[in-house]
Amino acid sequence: METSTLAEQAKQNGHGEGPAPAAEESAGAGLGSMLGRAAGAIGRQIGSRLTADLDDRDPDYIRENLPFVWLLSSLWFRGEVRNLGNIPEDGPVLMVGNHSGGNVTPDTHVLTLAFSTYFGVERPFYQLAHNLVVASPIGQILRKYGTVPASHENAELALNRGAAVLVYPGGDWEVHRSSWARNTVDFGGRKGFLRLALKNDVPIVPVVSAGGQETALFLGRGNRLAKGLGLDRLLRLKVLPVSIGPPWGLNVGDFLGHLPLPAKLTTEVLPPIDLREQFGAEPDLDEAYDYVTRLMQDALDALAAERRFPVIG
């Protein structure tokens, strides 16, 4: 897959609508050019690895690895997922979550475990992930869990098969927000998930998590730096985050991940939303976006209010 196709795919996925970062300063343009070329090569390599095959999901593998994920979720993150019964018992559904925890995204592991044990590994469940994640070495494992590159095509394929699909509209933008903004739902204005739900006529189930952004000290997104280096065009990366956490100490980019702090993770599943029932046959996307994000923000505020201390919960 060529990088231009990646950019197009990103645009279709609503990623082109993110907030426009401020103009990048021109200092270090030579270095930027060099890094940009390197990023281009990486982008082409990634593109060649991006083939979505829903059949990569392996229920037996998921089942056999439930104990490991359960141990991690229970002992390290003290995970708690509430109201899974709000997810329709069968049929396609688009689960929309706020995303936290840098590139490690522990909230996804906890939710995947909870979904798999609640509904059984037999129920098809796919997670849309950033191209870089799917193309990484760990992507081979994640594919067995049902992780596919984030695109409307992949999501539609899965929905057409009657699967539950988990999407994080905020993606790399939200997951690298600073720890000070940890209790903020920030989709960056991306409304692709609404178009996806409308086109496929499936309900949206908001999934709100708290605690993920306490698994390291996230200092900022580095979006200006990312734009200056051309990472946004070449790798769909609008950010080059800076954080502090084990084992690296100062961590720029979080490309190799990090050892997440054992923050308590709490997730709440909200009741399903039928967009056409709620907003009419041709819903106004801005209105629907404001509604969904406000519902999620209210739920996140309530979860945040339960927490007495960072990390401890």
Partner 1 sequence: MRIAESVEVSAPPEAVWEYIAEPENYLRFMSGVTRWEVQGDKRSGLGARCRMLLRVGAAEVGGLIEWVEWSEPRDMAWTSVTGVDQRGRWRIRPLERERSRVELRYAYGVAGAGIFGWIAEKVAAPTLRRHIRRTLHQLKRQIEHERLRAEAERRKKAREGATTA
- Residues facing residue 218 across a β-bridge: 243
Q: Is 84 in the site for partner 1 (CB under 8 A)?
A: yes
Q: Is 117 in the site for partner 1 (CB under 8 A)?
A: yes
Structure tokens at 198: 């409308």
Q: Quote the least distance from Cβ 148 to partner 1, whole Å.
A: 23
Q: Is 166 in the site for partner 1 (CB under 8 A)?
A: no
Q: Quote the least distance from Cβ 313 to partner 1, whole Å.
A: 13
Q: Which of 77, 125, 126, 193 binds partner 1 (CB under 8 A)?
A: 77
Q: Is 86 in the site for partner 1 (CB under 8 A)?
A: no
53-72 positions binding partner 1, by CB under 8 A: 60, 63-68, 70-71
Q: How many CA atoms lie within 13 A of 19 on its CB side?
A: 15
- The string of DSSP codes covering the chain is --HHHHHHHHHHTTGGGS--PPPPP-TTHHHHHHHHHHHHHHHHHHHHH----GGG--HHHHHHHHHHHHHIIIIIS--EEE-GGGS-SSS-EEEEE---SGGG-HHHHHHHHHHHHHH-TTS-EEEEE-HHHHHSTTHHHHHHTTEEE--HHHHHHHHHTT-EEEE-TTHHHHHT--GGGTT----TT--HHHHHHHHHT--EEEEEEESGGGSSEEEE--HHHHHHTTHHHHHS-----EEEETTTEEEES-TT---------EEEEPPPB-HHHHH-SS--HHHHHHHHHHHHHHHHHHHHHH-SSTTT-
Structure tokens at 235: 């790798």
17-46 positions binding partner 1, by CB under 8 A: none
Going by DSSP bridges, is the β-strand pair 80-82/266-269 parallel, antiparallel, or unpaired?
A: parallel
Nearer Cβ to partner 1 (221/264): 264
Nearer Cβ to partner 1 (123/191): 123
Q: Quote the least distance from Cβ 113 to partner 1, whole Å.
A: 5
Q: Which of 4, 5, 45, 74 binds partner 1 (CB under 8 A)?
A: 74
Q: Which of 13, 18, 80, 170 binds partner 1 (CB under 8 A)?
A: 80
Nearer Cβ to partner 1 (188/212): 212
Q: Quote the least distance from Cβ 142 to partner 1, whole Å.
A: 18
Q: Quote the least distance from Cβ 267 to partner 1, whole Å.
A: 10
Nearer Cβ to partner 1 (78/191): 78
Nearer Cβ to partner 1 (68/180): 68
Q: Is 73 in the site for partner 1 (CB under 8 A)?
A: yes
Nearer Cβ to partner 1 (111/235): 111
Q: Is 83 in the site for partner 1 (CB under 8 A)?
A: no
CA–CA dist 156, 53 (Å, integer): 13
120-149 positions binding partner 1, by CB under 8 A: 120, 122
Nearer Cβ to partner 1 (114/240): 114
Question: How many residues interact with partner 1 (rule CB under 8 A)?
Answer: 25
Q: Is 113 in the site for partner 1 (CB under 8 A)?
A: yes
Applying CB under 8 A, which residues contact partner 1? 60, 63-68, 70-71, 73-75, 77-81, 84, 110, 113-114, 117-118, 120, 122
